Amino acid sequence: MVNVWLIISVIIVSILLLAVSVAVLIYFSHPDDKNQAWIPKIITVLGLWIAFASVLILPYDVANSSGNGGGLQVEILWYIVYYALAILLVVLIPFAIWYYENENVTDIEDEDEHGRCKGPFWSALAYTVVGFILFLTLLLILWTQIGQANIPVVLIQQSFRVVTPAGSGLLVNTRSCTQSVGCVTTVFNWVIPVTFPVYLMAFMAFLGWFVFSSFTGVGLMALPLDLIYGFIRRPKPMSTKVYYEERRLLGERAAKLIRVGEKIEELLVKGESRSGKQKRDDGKNIRILEKHYYLLKKDLDMLTIAHKLKGGNPLWYFMLLFNGIISVSLSITWILHMCIFMLPNSPQYTFLNAFFIELSNAFGTGSQFPLMGIAAFAIYSFYLMAAAVKGNFKLGIRFLFWKIYPMEVNNTLMNAFLINTWLLLLVSVPVVQFCAFAFPIYAAYTQINMIFGVQTRYLTFFRYFWVNNAFIWWMLLVTALTTLWLSVRPRDDNKAVNEEIEKIAREKYDGAAV
């Protein structure tokens, strides 16, 4: 029998998630994107909605499989969501990023000398189609060649003794799995082919794990520490004299950055022939410039709050402290759960599994609608996504491996929205699989546990990473290294910033440095 309450709750939660996605877009959007860039905005809202919903389907799957069951085909819902997620990752968001980045191309440039279209739309479409064909080709080759799961099975064989009770007319089988009755246990691998949707989910999860384990490993420590340091280093009211002195120092930093930018622009405008190494150094120097521009803006905002707003609203900074304390507890419990339950071959304590089950049964909700368990699961799973985003930004701004796309209130352009939405979608797949690995007791008998906990876990090739917990070990290692690094250098102080700017400002730009 279909559980009507589950259907109603799904509709309500879906509407709420859509409202949250729209609110995030409005809250962070840059004024320059007002009343324009509608296609990237729609794709961003859809991407955020799918990313959030894909995580919350798991507790819904738990509620549907509990007790007498909800009577709903959650497996079909999983397939629909992950097909949509794959289209967003491979087609829609790459197309929107390329189109938005090149939207300023004039109409005159829409055709080349042969009359062929080469505007931003057609360029974006061409690159997207090529990328999609390559992705689909690789996926189909892997699925047809190694798309099978090697599931370990324990076969128990034992003898039967048939007893016919007098006068009953019935046959009763009595079995006892002991050596005395010839019980034999055999372990073997059950090889079964998986369907294309299941392999698609596994393939996206495998790709996402490299990003998820690295970024989340950093974010598990960086997120709570940054929140707490935000309270500790909150702006204090300052006198006008100190304000003008600090502003003068910021002006000197800005002047140096302008000179650095002019040197880079001068070289790029000349169009001189550059080697591959020189081009990579050019990109690194541009990222250094963007990093210090971002830090300069943050310092100017803090200075303005300290003087003109007399330190700002103290409630905001106490909220940062509160969230930092909550984040510390979430990070510690996640790390403990990995060490206590996920890594040992025979865990002695179920830890968060027991916590979620107890909350699901709280307040008499039971299997009808385990509200407290869903809320706790949502907090823990969304925290992993937030940690991944923080880790991406932390690595980008500290080590300059890639261009940073910070999310700033009323100052976020659509390219930053699209990149961060793409990142959330990419990590949402391993987040769900990670939760399936982490909570097999809480998620017992669910469709996602059958998909991620059984079929994809033992897929050919992928199984060596997942069965041996390679990504989890890497995540813990990154977390330990991040803890050590942030303990020594929690942030770039003004002295270090000025020294780096001085260095690149005074050196002659020869392709290795500015």
**What is residue 237's DSSP assignment?**
P
Contact 67, 92 (CB under 8 A): no
Distance CA 217, CA 478 (A): 5
Tell me, what's the pLDDT at 174? 44
Tell me, what's the pLDDT at 167? 44
Other CB atoms within a 10 A radius of the CB of residue 380 amount to: 21
Contacts of residue 347, defined as CB under 8 A and 6 or more positions apart, other chains included, come to: 340, 341
Tell me, what's the pLDDT at 394? 85
Half-sphere exposure of residue 140: CA atoms within 13 angstroms, side-chain side: 6
Tell me, what's the pLDDT at 166? 44
Tell me, what's the pLDDT at 107? 43
Distance CA 312, CA 195 (A): 56
Q: Which of 135, 174, 141 is nearest to 158 (CA)?
A: 174
Strand-pair category, 172-174 with 161-163? antiparallel
DSSP 3-state of 32: helix
Tell me, what's the pLDDT at 25? 92
The tens place of each residue's pLDDT in the chain, 514 residues long, gives 677 877 888 888 899 999 999 999 999 888 888 878 788 899 999 999 999 999 989 888 888 887 666 677 888 999 999 999 999 999 999 999 888 777 654 444 454 555 555 677 888 889 999 999 999 999 999 999 999 999 888 777 766 554 444 444 444 444 455 555 567 777 888 899 999 999 999 999 999 999 999 999 999 999 999 999 989 988 888 888 998 998 998 898 888 888 878 877 776 666 555 566 666 666 777 777 887 888 888 888 888 888 888 888 889 999 999 999 999 999 999 999 999 999 998 888 899 999 988 887 775 444 455 678 778 888 999 999 999 989 988 887 666 566 778 788 888 888 889 999 999 999 999 999 999 999 999 888 889 989 998 899 999 999 999 999 999 999 999 999 999 988 887 665 555 656 666 665 555 444 444 4
Contact 151, 192 (CB under 8 A): yes
Contact 454, 190 (CB under 8 A): no
DSSP string, 449-486: HHIIIIIGGGBTTTHHHHTTTHHHHHHHHHHHHHHHHH
pTM of the predicted protein model: 0.84
| Pair of tokens at residue 398 | 């500290």
Tell me, what's the pLDDT at 108? 41
Half-sphere exposure of residue 501: CA atoms within 13 angstroms, side-chain side: 27
Contact 253, 303 (CB under 8 A): no
Distance CA 499, CA 280 (A): 22
Distance CA 432, CA 457 (A): 13
Tell me, what's the pLDDT at 148? 93
